[in-house]
Structure 1
Amino acid sequence: MACATEKDTTKASTDDEREKMREKMETSIKKWNSLKTADKEKVYKILEEREAADQKLLDQLVTLGVMDQKDVSEIKMHRKEMMDDLKKSGMFPLVGQKRHRGSCDCQKEKREE
């Protein structure tokens, strides 16, 4: 019976941590949504610089024969579309990933505006 109690305690602890992270993320998103466009552009510029470095990495992996050029081209195209969508939507960049999209009510509010 002790095992079940430990499991329950661990699950409750994990659920509590998830709730805390969700609350922190919602707070961050609300702060992001209140930023001026110029401030958001500064963040997007840094993201674009990071993306440029990632693309160089992908190119090097092709050069070394680790990855196929066709696959890398598709990855680059997909990542560019994601960056364009992110900037167009004005969404908080750390939540804009597909698996997190719409997981937070304040992100939904931003998209509906």
Structure 2
Amino acid sequence: YTVFEAASGREGLARLSEHEPDLIVVDIMMETGDEGYGFTQAVKYRDEYRRYRNIPVVMVSSIQETPGQRFPMAPELELIQPDAYLTKPLDIDRFVAVVHRALERSAGNEERT
């Protein structure tokens, strides 16, 4: 896989137009406590990023609880559902399998649309 990195949600959103990805892996905690949610919300719901809505999102975090339990979030953030959620430390074999499945599902959806 070719990987492009971004240190913040803002940088990640800017990179979308530079390198349209097949999959997005995002950490919940970036520059702020829940910036990964804000990034994912923008990709999935904001009109200016609508062309990226079908890109699978794999969310990772060291948070062992269900997303949203540890951090109080705005109600609209509670609607965000990544395609997969993995906790750190990552089991690399599982991570690769989740990425592979997400890419396969995404390719299957593209063929149907």
Regarding TM over 0.5, the answer is no
TM-score (norm 1): 0.29
Higher normalized contact order (CA 8 Å, seq sep 6+, divided by chain length): 1
Structure with more helix by fraction? 1
TM-score (norm 2): 0.29
Structure with more strand by fraction? 2
Q: Which of the pair has more CA radius of gyration? A: 1
